[in-house]
A and B are shown apart, each in its own frame.
Chain A
Amino acid sequence: MTTTNGSNEAIPTLQLLDPRGSRVTTRGTKGYRDRAAALTTEDLRGMYRDMVLTRRFDDEATSLQRQGELALFAPARGQEAAQVGSAYALRTQDYVFPSYREHGVLHVRGLDPVDRLRFFRGSDHGGWNPTEHNTAVYTIVIGAHALHAVGYAMGVQRDATPQDKHDGTAVITYFGDGATSQGDVNEAMVYAAVNEAPVVFFLQNNQWAISEPTTRQTKTPLYRRGEAFGMPSLRVDGNDVLAVYAATQEALERARNGEGPSFIEAFTYRMGAHTTSDDPTRYRTSDQEEEWRRRDPIDRLAALLRAEGGLDDDFEAEIKAAGDELGAKLRTGVRALDGGPAVSSTFDDVYATPHGVVAAERAWYEAYDAGDPPAPQYAIAESAQGGAR
């Protein structure tokens, strides 16, 4: 093993579907191949459809940003297999802790696409009710949510009866190669390991932390970080939806069976910019981008489906129509978000119970906003002794 980054040739990497879309039969992968083989043509068509719609969401959101309708957007282009494949392995009761680029995961979890853009529109710090979808809102401080995932998993353990080690709920947290350098991600792995928490660490190594390549983050292949903390760890071809699905399903099963945490490194590539504010031409070559375009996760699954008779013109047309519908919904829905709560809603939900400072500042702001002579900003109830002197 001589290379650590930039090439996955020298590092053991689970692959079940090669870039030409042919199933791979490597020795030692039978367990994973069996899991992939259990996916029906209908399942694969669903995955394909969701990957295409994830990319369409990306394109539509990027356009909306260019038109000034979104403040920012972080595209997931190139990571559709890593996201859709892993999300297909989840159950409804499983809890997801995403970062901010998991559009494919959120799509599969059934989150409303307009809600997913509230944050990027600048109209919400979150966008949905986490408890309705067992999916936390975006976390922007890199890696902070990995600890929340582990804590949630520790809660799952505590909910379980002693006889039944856990209640069948597993937790998954998504993060990137840059996040592996964060203390919180490393602390999360410590806490998960010593508690044998039912959690899967799902790293999407898309090779770029904004402008920094993984050589600025690590001297070892990142999946080995998980090993070092005492977890079963694996690198998978992140552009191979079958390998991602099989590896994630296996890791989730371990969690459900009380066998503790796992670490998956999905080796993929961020085909687009970090966000709409970024300019990748300043730090990477188009040769590298072209090389990864030839390993496009969607083309790969399309080739498999075509070869196995799962993809025809009618289905392509159906997906195209669904994409058009998604685009129309986003264009109308995002603009309609401006009819949302009044500015004074800024004061809502700062605390769950009344807090004197927030209450006084709200009262002042509302009077000011109504054009009434502003009351003192820190107005308080007149006391009995008020003005007695």
Chain B
Amino acid sequence: MPLPSYTLGVIEASAYAPEVFARGLPSSLWSEQQSEGRVEPTGSVAAVASPLLSLQGIGLSFGGVVALADVDLSVRPGEIRAIIGPNGAGKSSLINVISGVYRPDRGHVLLDGVSYAQVPTQRLAHLGVARTFQNLALFKGLSVLDNVASGLAYKVRSNFAGQVLGIGRSRGEQRDSLSRADQVLEFLDLTAVRDRLAGTLPYGLQKRVELARALVAQPRLLLLDEPMAGMTASEKSEMAVFVRAARDRFATTVVLIEHDVGVVMGLSDRIAVLDYGRKIADATPDEVRNDQRVIDAYLGVASDNEDGAGI
């Protein structure tokens, strides 16, 4: 990003902030609880819990291309939240904003009540956020076990000299991270490939190892960028089971981006739909399925206007 627009973004974001807080935050919280009360009468615990993650008026553009425009999103603790949309709708941009890889031009990301203009990427793990990548981002030269154990690297406090000589707290740390990595491998049914180099595994397994690496730190918020892309149908449903099991076991909140609408409908508690960088729907799977704008933009049925009149 060129420097001038970067600084401009800062000014705009800070100038924008009071307005967002005055207008966006209280009212969105209010409407959140209102709608929750309406659509989910049983979810009373979730309804009173404040959001773990919330996006307020996020705008992001690359040159003249608007990737995200005024996107609000609120994720409650413990829910599985899907973000769907056609190609180029801004889904990956949104995940990159949440994880601090991109700095939004305007708007704020609130993590656990703390507001960020840009989420500090290097502090992400300490904030309890883990993510996976759309294109595999495993460390190919490390074994599966070491890949997963590296998910705990942010906690390591021993220095290299202690590790080389095996003194101080390094031994305990090493034992602890390997045993926790082993537990996660067992949980995701990866023990059989524990000592293989990650780069030699088939694609579907690599995706699962990435999930394991993200889970080993027991994050409060887990961001999954197309966790099922390129998988076969059976691999997808297997992955869906793992995602749900991970949420249940580690009490993790999950935000996931996915193309396969069928899998998402069965897996998610709520779904946000993006189209051309705007959020066009945000509701339960059933409501999204029947939302006319979502059908038009994404799910697709025969068009009413087959002649193309007016185009």
Q: Do these two chains interact?
A: no
Interface residues of B (CB under 8 A from A): none
